[in-house]
């Protein structure tokens, strides 16, 4: 499973994308929402259903700091497609017997490695 690409706003880094909430306080145009990987379109129940996990599993991913869902005005958790891919990757690792906290750390380290490799590649071009 590939967790890339991620659309980031100006000045944002990939490592900060795990907790980035580009829609907090901003309203995207309707057409932007369809293609935006970071738009929090899914409720907790729907996200859990799509990934095939319990809502408690999603809460545990938040506790382990892998994903931080945005909150609706009513206080309900909302997840983006990018966050769903991270959660699906965590599920794959956990299904192999790895504890949730360790799975989250693995994914964060994979993300940091990918960012470093991209930066090295960019520096070589310059």
CATH number assigned to the domain comprising residue 56: 1.10.1660.10
Max avg pLDDT among 11-15, 57-61, 70-74: 57-61
16 assigned to some structural domain: no
Boundaries of domain holding 87: 30-125
Please compute the mean of the pLDDT values over residues 72-82 and round it to a whole number.
94
Q: Is residue 110 part of a domain?
A: yes
Confirm whether 4 is domain-assigned.
Answer: no
Provide the percentage of residues in the chain whose pLDDT is more than 70: 75
Number of domains within the chain: 1
Q: Please check whether residue 76 lies inside any domain of the structure.
A: yes
Portion of the chain with pLDDT greater than 90, in percent: 70
Angle between helices 55-63 and 81-95 (to 10 degrees): 100
Q: Is residue 47 part of a domain?
A: yes
Regarding pTM above 0.85, the answer is no
Residue 61 CB-density burial (10 A; 0-12 exposed, 13-18 middle, 19+ buried): buried
> Who wins on pLDDT, 31 or 101?
101
Q: Structure tokens of 34?
A: 């369809």
Compute CA distances 116 → 42, 111, 119, whole Å.
30, 9, 5
């Amino acid at each position: 499973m590939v967790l890339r690409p991620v659309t980031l706003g100006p000045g944002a880094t990939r490592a900060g994308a795990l907790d980035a909430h580009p829609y907090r306080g901003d309203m995207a145009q309707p057409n932007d929402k369809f293609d935006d990987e970071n738009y929090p379109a899914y409720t907790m129940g729907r996200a859990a259903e799509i990934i095939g996990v319990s809502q408690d599993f999603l809460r545990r991913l938040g506790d382990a700091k892998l994903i931080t869902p945005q909150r609706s005005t009513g206080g309900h958790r909302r997840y983006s497609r990018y966050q769903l891919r991270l959660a699906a990757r965590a599920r794959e690792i956990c299904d192999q017997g790895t504890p949730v906290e360790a799975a989250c750390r693995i994914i964060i380290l994979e993300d940091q490695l990918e960012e470093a490799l991209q930066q090295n590649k960019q520096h070589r071009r310059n």
